[in-house]
Amino acid sequence: MNASDSILDVRKLKQYFHVNKNLTMKAVDDVSFQIKKGEIFGLVGETGSGKSTIARTIMGIYPAVEGEIYFKGEMISNQRIFRQNKKKVRRNMQTIFQDSAAALNPRMTIEQIIAEPLRIHRLASGKKELQEKIDRLLLEVGLDSSLKSKYPGEISGGQRQRVAIARCIGMDPDLIIADEPIASLDISIQAQIVTLFQDLQRKYGFTFLFYRA
């Protein structure tokens, strides 16, 4: 497959950690995979097999030791290129973490939390458009707009995860990287969030990379 046919193309990725001068940990050794637009891709493997390291390398937290990562046809594993495209890549590649709901700023209202990245990336022109976007995003994730003025501490864990998802999809990302986004929720709430991810994928063709950290 051509790199440009896929949203993400990981080629012969290697990631080694030098633990000490005699020991090198080969966390990822020659891993290749592609994710196409609209796909829900699950990265699975035993504990310690390198799933988190692969995800972190894709997110640009670690430079790749060897191999290449192409995002929408552009090589991002080269650190120089990654730095140049950082803002664009960050916007188009969004992450949802197991504890991202817990990481919501407790001093910001739900409205401010969802508005923040829209402002930073200038995705709404004017107050009216910003308000409309926030209302639409809340609706998309199944939250009542009356929650806008509330703080994260005043809503449930499932609602907080929905706020984190609203903030993420507001960027209209090409790839959503999610690390066990339901693990910290009650079983009954987990099913609702899974359904929400499926609905969003069907409706908007979002592309997901799920992994278990």
Ligand X SMILES: Nc1ncnc2c1ncn2[C@@H]1O[C@H](COP(=O)(O)OP(=O)(O)OP(=O)(O)O)[C@@H](O)[C@H]1O
Residues near ligand X, by CB under 6 A:
17, 19, 25, 27, 45, 47-53, 212-213
Say if residue 49 is exposed, middle or buried (CB neighbours under 10 Å; 0-12, 13-18, 19+). middle
Nearest distance in Å: CB 211, ligand X: 7
Considering the complex, state which of residue 170 and residue 181 has its C-beta at the smaller distance from ligand X.
181
Nearer to ligand X, 50 or 60 (CB): 50
Beta carbon of residue 48, minimum distance to ligand X (angstroms, whole number): 4
Least Cβ distance, residue 170 to ligand X (angstroms): 28
Closer CB to ligand X, 95 or 159, in the complex = 95
Q: Which of 110, 117, 132, 120 is nearest to 169 (CA)?
A: 117
In the three-class reduction of DSSP (H, G, I as helix; E, B as strand; rest coil), residue 170 is classed as: coil
In the bound complex, what is the minimum distance in angstroms from residue 159's beta carbon to ligand X? 27
In the 8-state DSSP scheme, what is residue 150? Answer: -
Reduced 3-state DSSP string for 116-148: HHHHHCCCCCCHHHHHHHHHHHHHHCCCCHHHH
> CA quadruple 138, 143, 148, 154: dihedral positive or negative?
negative
**Choice between 53 and 159, CB closer to ligand X:** 53
